A and B are shown apart, each in its own frame.
Chain A
Amino acid sequence: MFFHWLEKNPFFFAVMTFAVIAFAGLIEIVPNFTEAARPLTTTTPRTVLELAGKNVYIKDNCIACHSQLIRPFKSETDRYGNYSLSGEYAFDRPFLWGSKRTGPDLHRVGNYRTTDWHENHMKNPPDIVPGSIMPSYKHQFTNVADIETAYAEAVTVKNVFNVPYGDDIKAGRKAWEAYRPKVLEDAKKVAADMKDEGVKKMIANGKVPEIVALIAYLNSLK
């Protein structure tokens, strides 16, 4: 019998096992790959500041409690807005759909929350939403966001995956030094709507606090 033979031949046993387990991935992932990689015509890549905010979102692991995926049910579209479309995620590396809603979905949070709301909320969520069990994220007001890494990320996805960034985003320290003021400019615009003195001071010193980058990112979720 074939299986008895396999059980005495570890090499072929391993080959057979591998073939059997690899099969499903090929069928489910490959056929639709190109189609699923296409953005909507209206989807634009995130700015460097927003990318830095996305990295804060990953660092503090917001995904543990917040999804970014609105399912096509009336109860969800009533609560969060239009259901999510595949093309909207085409520039998201990694995808941040999440798998648990201990807190609400955030895929279109930019449509109904403001910079001011986020600023107060992130300091101490129960002050804004009584009964909230979300921790306070005060450290984001003093930690410096890594905008240089965010820029490096934009350069990488532009060069490797042809993400449509402008010509001013290119490799090397010189290009980054030239680009840096634009990021600070974006950060100033967000900080203009904020009250925290420490944040204003850091921005004046040419540093972007994590909270500013994060709010820029959250505001871009629409």
Chain B
Amino acid sequence: MHIVVPIKQTPDTTAALTVDASGRISWGDAPLIVNPWDEFAIEESLRLKEKFGGKVTVITLGPESAKEALKQAVAMGCDEAILLHDPAFEGSDAVVTAAILAAAIRKLGAVDLVFMGKESVDGNSAQVPPALARRLGWPLLAYVGKIREVDPAGRTIVVERILEEGRQVVRAPLPAVLSAMQMNEPRYPSFMGIRKAARMQIQVWNAADLGLSPEQVGAAASAARWPAVFAPPRQEVQCEFIQGESPEEIARLLVDRLLAEKVL
């Protein structure tokens, strides 16, 4: 099986974020990481490779520095890594990002599965997986909590999708686009993996390599506009500690407060 895992490099989720007057977002000295949702997709793809053979190719759209995220994925066990980088890509929204990823996946030739995190921890939109499925014309299996079976010969996959009311068990033909929920415990990079990643020359594909013209990508092609980013209004919370002689008294005082707050 050939599995492609599109990932995103994001600021660490514990980073404190600031926005300057020009709207530029900064995370200080906090490290950049592989989007945690994508790690579940990497792990699951590596398990499929271990079971069925084949290879896992990791791709990302981003600046030169995003090679670090690709190396992390290679150190975990991915076989190949490609950076999609072009100044013209800047400002691409989810639909345009999906179009760029789709062009890269087509260029890779025979692909059985595209597996990515359900969303990124920076954009939080969960829009790239469905848009990518449409750009490729493949079935979408979003919010996958479990892979039940894969039949590479019969070219089908059965997954459990996590929806609000429970789990929807769906069978789809391959190739398909999957997005991952928290479905496993991602492995740490191995010593051998880290050495391999350090030596790896990562391919870089630009718009021309993908057969895309500058007006098909970037902010110019994108319909979403983000005129302002700002820190949310601060809710100053002063914690009132409830004390009492007994649990019963504390419970009584607490219920009084919650009734006054009208939240019971």
A in complex with B? no
